[in-house]
Amino acid sequence: MDADARVCPFCGEPPGPGVFCALCGRNLAGVRQLPTRLMWERGRVGRRNPVESSTRASGGDAIAAFLATMHEAGDPGAAKMPCAEPGFLGRTKHVRGWVVRAVGSGHDELSGRYEPGLFVTVEGHLHRLESATRGAGQRTRLEYIDLVGRAVEPAQDERLAGELAAVLRANGVDSASL
């Protein structure tokens, strides 16, 4: 293959004429410019694995490696989530990113306790993921929704790095190629 040929950033093969890669099927609409084959090969050699590097470094380094990989891939799987804090005139604000750790499902009806989750924005800010109730009326059923809460500092633990690697795998980004 020619070193100057444009290739899919996920599989390294020619993507074909459509928006989706002909080989791996990934959506290329969010990719600003396809890399050349030479750029793609160089990128695979020089990348670090966030799971290995973050066990020695801080949680902030793991998030930085995660974001670099996701941005290069076109931010696959980034979701728009509502914020816990209301915006102007009480309107719901939204933030875009990935759920790293889901809210614990063990809701205790009497005490209202649950295990909060983690959410990382596309800008790299780590937030607490909280649970709130909606529809607690006479005719409606009680429903729990997840809301992005206040920002938190990334912890220096191996759990965060493993969860970030799991988000990469769940969105079709190979964390071993980092």
For tokens 């614990």, the residue is 104
CA–CA dist 178, 174 (Å, integer): 7
Structural domain count of the chain: 2
pLDDT recorded at residue 53: 42
pLDDT per position as a tens digit, 17-41: 888 887 777 778 878 888 888 887 7
CB atoms within 10 A of CB 29: 9
Six-digit token pair at 34? Answer: 């396809």
Residue 144's DSSP bridge partners are 133
- pLDDT tens for each residue of 39-87: 877 776 444 444 444 344 466 778 888 888 888 888 888 999 999 888 8
Average pLDDT of span 112-121: 79
Mean pLDDT of the chain: 77
Task: Kindly state the tokens that stand for 105.
Answer: 């499902």
Assess whether 139 and 69 both reside in one domain. Answer: yes
Same domain for 63 and 36: no
Whether residue 88 is found in the same domain as residue 145? yes
pLDDT at 46: 46
DSSP structure class, residue 34: P
Task: Give the mean pLDDT of 95-111.
Answer: 74
Q: Are residues 102 and 174 in the same domain?
A: yes
68 in a structural domain: yes
Q: Are residues 83 and 155 in the same domain?
A: yes
DSSP letters for 59-78: HHHHHHHHHHHHHHTT-TT-
Q: How confident is the model at residue 58, as a pLDDT?
A: 60
- Look up the domain containing 20 and give its range: 1-46
Instruction: State pLDDT tens for residues 151-177.
Output: 888 766 668 888 888 888 888 886 654
Cβ 68 vs Cβ 168: under 8 Å: no
22 within some domain: yes
Is the residue at 51 inside a domain? no
Residues 41 and 118 occupy one common structural domain: no
